Amino acid sequence: MGVQVVETPEALRAVRRRLAGYIGAVYTMGALHEGHLSLLNTAREENDALIASIFINPTQFAPGEDYANYPRTLERDLELMDRAGVDVVFTPSPQDMYLPFHQTSVIVDEVSQGLEGASRPNHFRGVATVVAKLFNLTQPTTAYFGQKDAQQVVVIRRMVRDLNIPVEIAVCPTVREPDGLAMSSRNAYLKPDERKAAASLYRALKAAADAYDHGERDPSVLRMIACEELYREPLAIVDYVAINHPHTLYGVHEPTDEPILLSMAVKIGAPRLLDNCLLPYSLNNREHLTEILGVV
């Protein structure tokens, strides 16, 4: 294997000091799929060196969430990262990332509170803190994040701006299965009938996108069109469907021609699935997402 695996922050710092030029970074929780690979491939193309991490961050899971059961496939992940041309993979233990007496965390206030934050109150505090730590450890020129976790992009972008962290954020579009289901490590939890039902999230996004293309601009109507598609699927239990400004995540209540973010969380069987898109739908590409999501 050409990829170098480092397990401790100290070892990573030593390796990082020897890298030069443009450094790309991709942070994952493992159980890699095509979504992760698209981030890795883009980062590989655009940089001299590529650092990735595999770390299931315990502080972003609430008690009772799936931390203990989260899929762990390290050997396979390392092989895929090797094949994707990753130079260094950081695979720390929770004990090395959170030393005894750890007390510091990053709270990105308002943008962490709605959408996912409403259902998972301390989630983004865990995410922002671990990403800040990973930025300090890996010191990339550009870090690549997936559109699938759009609120995460907004939270991290705000943190980077507010704390003057010297890193560029790039956003890569959501990679989907042939039936439109957004790839996710958690899709592995879906039973066969649930897996079929899970395509309803994409159908809901597309139904709203079609209405938008036909001139519908009223956010409450667009939202209802997406909801109706989800309600047709008996296994889908809607947590939220929302329309927000993609820069600030403020709710959008009036018709507008400015880009809007349609996002949803839907429980299907055990997992809670997320999906989102920008409207107009033509904006869901690397360039526009990077220009728009979380940029204030």
Residues that bind ligand AMP (CB under 6 A): 28-29, 35-36, 38-39, 145-146, 148-149, 172, 174-175, 182-185
User: Is 214 labeled as catalytic in the residue annotation?
Assistant: no
The smaller minimum CB distance to ligand AMP, of residues 145 and 225, is found at: 145
Judged by beta carbon, residue 44 or residue 148, the one nearer ligand AMP is 148
Task: Identify residue 205 by its one-letter amino acid code.
Answer: L
Going by C-alpha positions, the residue among 168, 137, 175 that lies closest to residue 47 is 168
Nearer CB in complex with ligand AMP: 36/120: 36
Set 33, 36, 102, 245: catalytic member: 36
Hey, what's the torsion of the CAs at 177, 171, 140, 87, to 10 degrees? 20
Minimum gap (Å) between residue 173 Cβ and ligand AMP = 7
Q: Quick check: helix, strand or coil at residue 138? A: helix
Q: How many CB atoms lie within 10 A of CB 82?
A: 15
Q: Which is nearer to ligand AMP, 225 or 274 (CB)?
A: 274
**Residue of 274, 257, 256 whose CA lies nearest to 265:** 274
Question: Cβ 253 to ligand AMP, closest distance in Å?
Answer: 27
CA distance 42 to 37: 8
CA-to-CA separations, 294 to 148, 162, 244, in angstroms, rounded = 14, 12, 11
State the minimum distance, in angstroms, from the CB of residue 47 to ligand AMP. Answer: 16
As measured in angstroms, the least distance from the Cβ of 101 to ligand AMP is: 27
| Residues annotated as catalytic (active site), given as ranges | 36
